[in-house]
Amino acid sequence: EIVMTQSPATLSVSPGERATLSCRASQSVSSNLAWYQQKPGQAPRLLIYGASARATGIPARFSGSGSGTEFTLTISSLQSEDFAVYYCQQYNSWPLWAFGQGTKVEIK
């Protein structure tokens, strides 16, 4: 079983600042890594797939990087609408697709 570990659990950031979220896989998932954003009461939405490709309509301030076991989601300048919970998910091999436990980005 591949375990996805996200850090930190909570990130306090001021609007306009950069946020850096981490996701670590217990074994290599190549670049088969996605990031999702979930706001309260809403379904998650896809931000990044293939570790670094932005999904349709996602602003350029969101960027993903990494491969193998270490991945990063960076939000270059936080906007008010970016405060949410972010999840990573590996899809390297079924039935081992798995989500991380999430990072909550809150207003500092």
Residue 79 contacts residue 61 (beta carbons within 8 Å) = yes
- State how far the Cα of 38 lies from the Cα of 93, in Å rounded to an integer: 24
Q: Kindly tell me which residue out of 11, 23, 25, 49 binds other proteins, with binding defined by CB under 8 A.
A: 49
Tokens 């999702």, located at residue? 36
**22 is a site residue for other proteins (CB under 8 A):** no
What phi, psi does 84 have (nearest 5°)?
A: -170, -175
Segment interacting with other proteins (CB under 8 A) among 10-18, 32-40, 59-67, 69-77: 32-40
Segment interacting with other proteins (CB under 8 A) among 10-18, 47-55, 57-65, 74-82: 47-55
Q: Kindly tell me which residue out of 2, 28, 63, 97 binds other proteins, with binding defined by CB under 8 A.
A: 97
- State how far the Cα of 83 lies from the Cα of 76, in Å rounded to an integer: 13
Closest CA to 53 of 83, 33, 81: 33
Segment interacting with other proteins (CB under 8 A) among 8-16, 64-72, 76-84, 95-103: 95-103
Query: Quick one: 77 or 93, whose CB is closer to other proteins?
Result: 93
Start-to-end CA span in the chain (Å): 36
Binding site for other proteins (CB under 8 A): 32, 34, 36, 43-46, 49-50, 55, 87, 89, 91-92, 94-95, 97-99, 101-102
